[in-house]
Structure 1
């Protein structure tokens, strides 16, 4: 039998080309290929090639990047309760659903379109995320990454891919220098994939914030994230016709205590805006308590405080401007605020 002989008794016409070319040994058995024939075909110089344990490329020669990605998912995925990889069905024209597995790390970032991630052919190994309880071993071509809670995958080119914050954390775990880490973190934020706090939260959960080169990169990320948020705040005021506030000020009671810093303040209306840029590497409960205490203190003095997150500024700039405009308009209906000193921060 030549390698072009149809795999009977179950035809493969319902599969896409990529799913014809990369199959598991279990799938091939269902198509009538016995173990001995499979072994013979995968010998050096044979028409097929074993890419991973139990995963076969139905042609000779090196695999394409797409074939490597599908092989990785076939190796790691399974149908819940069966312990075997998912089988394509005639009702699924777009190929199988890869249960309990998704591409992560640098390969995922490349699929998400990161310019700072290497192209797929340059990656020696592809990272794949699976539940912690799965019994799988890493190979020379695949690194198994385990997690107690699987995130919801994003579909990229028809493949399940880890969300950017998780993919960044898994990539960083395998990098040893800040110069490799910093561009990935920066692009995640600058390209609008996610907020800095989402990345820092994943790094914190992965216990990577104890590594000095990661801490250095995170410091740069948070500074850059705040600068971007401040730029959007300036745009919000300028593009939506809000009156100019005083920017980046500290408030203090005359002869009394410091009341805290604010990103924008309208003294005549006693309205303040504060950017919520809490980072997950800090105690979020303690930070929120500090935010709440400051807000309550200022509002007892008659100052309205509007908290805005960087994400809201990025996703709904006009809506946040409307919130601030409402607060400014309502100032005439409130009792006069206490006199406070407004100092540059």
Structure 2
């Protein structure tokens, strides 16, 4: 695999940036280090800041850049979990690596050369955030030193262009202050977390799969929105959400006859949509266009029908507004596909 080859080459590169030596084992405290703009080698990515923090169960690594992140960029983070430069491989026991837009990154034990865990990765326009359980690094307490390196791909080689810190290692700190003893939201007034802070991804979910998967930034205790679904995925998601909501609605939300009628209409729309996609893949432009036009008209008719049922008191306002909103979103997604 290309990623594996890049990982090996990144390991061989070690901490070398344009021939520089390994960083001095002295450690920078504070959990965050800034890096000068313009010190990257060549046209490679340029680090602006690097942060490391931990909770009682997870480690979070944030790399922010002056330059845009892209599919040809990679980041390598070396971890000295025992904070002893005389142990491990050149002082490091573990390494985390991600390339391009991979959703997950491997955590590698540098002593055994075995993958010991998986990190989730969240990308921004100029940032990369990696998170993984402390069990992936031998159940460490998260108090460790780290070094971040970034580079661009050239064939099967990752050319390291910048690192942070430049001449030392960065010591981790507790995310948001003292480390909580549990990953669930505390219920007592003795918590050290700010009111409303998140401590896990599950607290950031809004229940809407079409919005993408939200994640919790453990350092700030705030939720990061996921990337909304696009194109076909968004269209199908909106239709599934409408069908699920109608099926789950009780008698106080929609009359039984209206519920059956709406379910039949939504399922017919889904069938037309799938048919249009299949025709598109088969290269049948005429059938694709006919079914796509039919889907668009059916979505518009669904909105009208819901309005009629609402005026007659056969569906409540909340459910009606949800169906109308999602039907319009599905119509927008369909239009964007140009079928």
Provide TM-score, normalisation by structure 2.
0.27
Greater helix fraction, Structure 1 or Structure 2: 1
Hey, which of these two has a bigger chunk of strand by percent?
Answer: 2
The structure whose RCO (Cα within 8 Å, separation 6+) is larger is: 2
Structure number with greater Rg is: 1
